Chain A
Amino acid sequence: MPLRKLLYTGLVCMLSYLAHAQSTGALRGRIVSEEGDQLMGVTVMLAGTSKGINTDESGNFQLDNLSPGTHTLTASFVGYQTQQKTVTVKSGETLRHNFRLVSSTQQLETVSVIGRSEAKEVCRQAFNVTAIDATKLHNSTLDLSHALDRVSGVRVRESGGVGSNFNFSLNGFTGRQVKFFIDGIPMDNFGSSFQLNNIPINLAERVEVYKGVVPIWLGSDALGGAVNIVTGNRQRNYLDASYSYGSFNTHRTAVNAGVTTKSGFTVQLNAFQNYSNNNYWVTVDVADINTGEYFRNQRVRRFHDTYRNETIVATVGVVGKRFADKLLFGITLGQNRAEIQTGARMVSVFGDWYRRGNIVMPSVRYQKDNLLIKGLNVRLTGNFNLGQEQNVDTVYRRYNWFQQYKQYPGKGSERERSLYKFRNNNGLVTANVSYQISEKQALSINNVFNTFNRTGSDELNPTSANYEQPRVNTKNVLGIGYKYDYSERWNTSLFIKHFSQNNKYGITYNPSGTYGDVAYMTQKNGFNQLGYGIATSFFLQKNLQLKASFEKSYRLPETDELYGDLLNLEGNINLKPETSRNYNLGFSYLTNLAKVHRFSFAGNVLYRDAQGFIRPRLNNNQTKQVMDNLADVTNLGFDGEIRYSYRQFLTVGTNLTYQNLRNNTRYEDGYTTESPLFRDRIPNMPFLFGNADASLFLRNVGGQGNTLSVGYNLLYVHAYYLYWPSLGQDKLDIPEQLAHDVNLVYALAGGKYNIGFECKNVLDSKLYDNFSLQKPSRGFYVKLRYFVGK
């Protein structure tokens, strides 16, 4: 590929451009407002050079590798008057210069819109990344998956209400092809008790969505992107407590608190709880319990869909020590129980079957910048999940939607009799080392090591030897990245990732040749793959950024795909990794009219060329599913976003995503001619969708420092076919979705006390993400929140 060659040549040139070592000096300082508040995101520039930095959450900045002499240092921030200082840089010394910025009343009105928060800062990376500033949603009742649903390119498909199964899709990649992280740690193995559909938005400070190209510091085998949830706290001491109540007997509580003493001892606690009966109204054909005859279009309540989870994340440790910037020990404890109301179609209804799970996960985190030598930063984390998952289906009944049931004698079930309980014994160690080679160049190495050893048992079937067979694997992802900041306007990152996986599993054989004689033999296999990528960003003007990125990505088969889940999924030890070539090209542009009308535009074009998608098929007696490398898919898509704000009074935005996912499997297995489905649109995937939102902020309503805001959100999803578009007549489809949500938030005392009201699905529309599985009817929610921090 010429592009890659060109870039490679470029890298070689850059490497030869290495800056000579010379004695330099440094400047550091803190920037505060007139009131003494630490200001984050203030741009500090050394005039006449390309050196500049933004202040961190504490208002601190540091500029290194400055040539000695006299310079002009400027600090500028939207809403504040720019300040300049003449400073002297001395070789080998770090001099301190603090600023106290004075607000400019005229500009202050736009601070909340244009003042670059950390979330916006993330978006300035060369990667195709969208960051959600979660703090702006802390008064809403959203969980993380619903917040993500508002990002362009993202579609979260739910099968029901609170805690229901969801399918996350990013630019057409779904399921495990997209990886999730929390503070940079892969969440693959957290089990059902700590997942996107139960983590409240208040736990997050921001959420970053990397599309197609994933930086190496998120070390994982993501095929089509990654989501990183950042929980970092700006304050040393804080308390954020909220409770919400709403329709369908939904209760949610979240408490986040932290204390850090002067001596650097820190304790942090995140606790949250969700409970909902999910007994929302649905319209369904109800089968007569005896004859099977349907009563058409009955409006009934769901009756076996209660979900609850309780999770605590506790962390204790030290910060700001000589040996460690952070050394934290934590434990995550949680449990959940989910009743299962329906099968894959709404006509199949259950009344007793449920699943439950828990998480018991000790963890450790160590972080030290400038370890031994300056510019060498180290981060280490580890965790081990001892949690269990269980499926409980032991009641021999058949229900219908009128909650009538037939009880059968004997041992049976609603679907598949099981009390199978398993533990995956997942361990995870991540190491990240970065080194600032020079002012413009940085090198980083990231390694993620995973272990898995499934053990399980079923009290209904204690003798089954299958559960004793080895099902062990280890996975390692090593990434090496190089970043070159040519200037503030142009930077480029290059990276290589090495994936390896080793599997150990048992197969049955007949040792003696006489029938009935069974033994197990341990088999091993594994593979190694090399992925690579590049991301580059260029500012044409200060307010116009161009980005391009590429990655050859891999996803290794997951453990249950390899070994089965012993319920409905049969193992396939011969699975190969999925692979894709992901290309992104994007721009973002900011402008304003008379400084009161602010506009931002962003657009991305992307192309995905994926091979060997792991997809389910039925096994050869059609009793279980088995995963196989089945499909090749391409996607040429675009997404765009336009936002407008007027002073601090109004903000309006809309985004739209189009994805043209096409079947690229030219020859199906066993056939010599082109498949009739070659280049047909992939069915059962949304291809055109978007969001629109509007918010009004009314200041000082009912008292100084109180804000009343009114918000509206619209979700649009174009209808799509359940099965291949080119085939057949009388086709089944998933109809268009138009969902309207409104909210009202009253924040008192500068945001210390907050009351939020929300109405979801205002028009009580019948909404579907999956064929026939109706989403919640209209619901009302209230949320009370108390927040204090310093």
Chain B
Amino acid sequence: MFNTNKYVLTVLAIGLSLTACKKEESELNPGTGTPTDGSKVKFIISATPVGSQGVADYLLTADTLTKGTVSTKGSGIEQDGTYRYYVTHKNRFFSLLYGQGNPGAVTTYVVNSAGKLEKVSDFQAETVQVFAPMKDDVVTVKVPRSGNESASFYRIQAESSKIVGEAQVNIVQLAGNGERAHFTWATQVGDKLFAPYMSIKGVAPDGFGTSYPDSAWVAVLSYPDLKVEKVIKDNRTSFIGRYFTDGLAVDEQGDTYAFSSGVATSSSKLTSTKPSAITRIKSGTTEFDKTYLFNVEQASGGYNLTTQLYVGQGNFILTMTSAAEKGAYAVGKKLAVVNVYNQTFKWVDGLPAVSEITQLAGRNNYSPKDGKTGFIGLTLTDGASYIYQVDASTAKATRGLKVDGGTIQAISTLTYK
């Protein structure tokens, strides 16, 4: 359900540089199958049927996102349940569970030479709240919301589908304010892993509430030993990212942009006094750039950003909520294009009216990072789902691939020969 858009390596494989992929052809663990990196592209759409019980996700494949129809009716690889999460790295597709705190099986797929998804491995993993490509690994983080005081970081080597390292971070000590540091996501920035967090009480009944709604924190972790080296803080915004949502993006210059929705709560009431805004951490530094603040709330006329998709060259596609819709878990149904370099803001045209949209996949959308194109999954009230192609240069959206019988959870891509 979450961003693949940051997974730079995957994206490079398709959009920009095929040579980048070719470096990966060797060193595969025997018996786990060989991804056939190549010039052909296969898109994987993870779809969840609309139903009230007994629902599983299905993996559908398509050669293009701009036209055609795929359907869950009698097709698609059935996953064990829904609330699963998908990430691609090293030309492999990982289907992770969200097991309500239970450990369970993660399944790895590749696209074989026939262009079909093929299961190559499964392995045991914990229920995690964060999963992100980091060097050769997928880093996952299990963040306890109460009780346990340590978050567990795991390094899953993508090629072998094995856990190769594990580390504990005491989140109560990390927060240092009597609350808990709840990691929203993690992103590779240079050699480091940047993990923004929200401060939460972690005590029922207000487990996700906080008394510290007006600060942003990013933990800087070393790699591969996953030690917290530093926490960087900024009081100009509320926390970065959201529960289960990526709030950092690295541009072509290596600068990191941080996205805050301003949705900290206490007793289910929004309490942050800070605007929804974008801040920056310059390449090579581990401090917020005090000279940079893009007040998106102001630029949009009172809207809050909820998720972001980087399409390259400083352009982002944001989902936006109105002041009335604003909430800690709400995903906006309006799209906007911003350029973080010159701080421009444009609403996207060509989308269905908000009232016709049931669900917009705010996370786990896809961009080839060409500087303008993003693909966003939408489900309409008539039950049909479509992938919309958004052109950031013109702020126009056009309807593409139709997905029958399901909401779109993730748009991913793998290559094959």
Q: What residues make up the interface of A, taking CB atoms closer than 8 Å to B?
A: 285, 287-288, 290-294, 343-345, 347-349, 396, 398, 400, 408-413, 415-418, 460-461, 463-466, 469, 508-510, 515-516, 518, 566, 568, 613, 615, 617-618, 620-623, 625, 628, 630-631, 663, 665, 668, 670-677, 682-684, 722-724, 726-732, 771
Contact = CB atoms under 8 A, between A and B. Distances in A.
B99 A615 contact: no
A726 B74 contact: yes
Contacts of A343: 99-100, 102-104
9 contacts: A291-B162, A343-B104, A345-B99, A410-B148, A411-B148, A417-B148, A510-B269, A668-B52, A671-B381
Contact of A631 (B52, B75, B163, B269): B52
Nearest to A289: B124
A727 B122 CA distance: 23
B73 A672 contact: no
The 9 A-B pairs with the shortest beta carbon distances in the complex, nearest first, are A417-B147, A287-B124, A630-B52, A343-B102, A723-B56, A348-B102, A683-B54, A728-B78, A515-B271
Most buried by A among B51, B76, B144: B51
A774 B383 CA distance: 38
B123 A677 contact: no
Given A287-B124, A418-B147, A516 B170 contact: no
Nearest to B356: A672
The secondary-structure label for the interface of chain A is loop
Contact of A671 (B75, B98, B206, B358): B358
B73 A676 contact: yes
B125 interface: yes
B55 A724 contact: yes
B404 interface: yes
Nearest to B52: A630
A671 B211 contact: no
B298 interface: no
Given A412-B148, A630-B53, A726 B268 contact: no
Contact of B78 (A287, A415, A729): A729
Interface string B255-282: 0000000000011110100000000000
B145 interface: yes
Nearest to B124: A287
Interface of B: 49-56, 58, 72-78, 80-81, 83, 98-106, 122-126, 144-150, 152, 156, 161-164, 166, 168, 170, 203-208, 211, 213, 243-244, 266-269, 271, 328-329, 358-359, 381-383, 404-405
Task: Give chain B's interface secondary structure class.
Answer: loop
Contact of A294 (B51, B78, B123, B271): B123
A291 B164 contact: yes
**Chain B CB within 10 A, most for which of A460, A566, A722:** A722
A728 B75 contact: yes
A671 B358 CA distance: 7
B204 A466 contact: yes
A717 B271 CA distance: 55
Contacts of B269: 510, 515
B288 to A, nearest CB: 23
Contact of B162 (A293, A415, A625, A676): A293
Given A417-B148, A722-B56, A728-B78, 11 more contacts: A292-B163, A343-B103, A344-B100, A408-B150, A461-B204, A515-B271, A568-B100, A724-B54, A728-B76, A729-B74, A731-B78
Contacts of A290: 163, 166
B105 A510 contact: no
A155 to B, nearest CB: 16
Contact of B51 (A288, A674, A724, A728): A724
B75 to A, nearest CB: 6
Contacts of B152: 408
A509 B404 CA distance: 42
A510 B209 CA distance: 12
B147 A416 contact: yes
Contacts of B383: 668, 671-676
A497 B137 CA distance: 62
Most A CB atoms within 10 A — which of B101, B122, B146, B203? B101
A484 to B, nearest CB: 42
B72 A727 contact: yes
Contacts of B268: 508
B163 A291 contact: yes
A682 B83 contact: no
Contacts of A723: 54-56, 78, 81
Contact of B168 (A409, A670, A677): A409
A518 B203 contact: no
Nearest to B382: A673
Nearest to B358: A670
Contact of A675 (B51, B74, B123, B146): B51
A672 B352 CA distance: 15
Contact of B211 (A398, A515, A630): A515
B99 A348 contact: yes
Nearest to A345: B104
Contacts of A285: 105
A413 B83 CA distance: 23
B78 A347 contact: no
B208 A727 contact: no
A516 B209 CA distance: 9
Contacts of A465: 205
A728 B77 contact: yes
A400 B163 CA distance: 15
Contacts of A417: 144, 146-148
Given A408-B168, A621-B244, A727 B147 contact: no
B240 to A, nearest CB: 17
**Candidate in A464, A469, A518, A724 with the most chain B CB atoms within 10 angstroms:** A724
Given A292-B123, A509-B267, A722-B56, A677 B51 contact: yes
B101 A415 contact: yes
A413 B148 contact: yes
A291 B32 CA distance: 14
B162 A508 contact: no
Most buried by B among A460, A665, A723, A730: A723
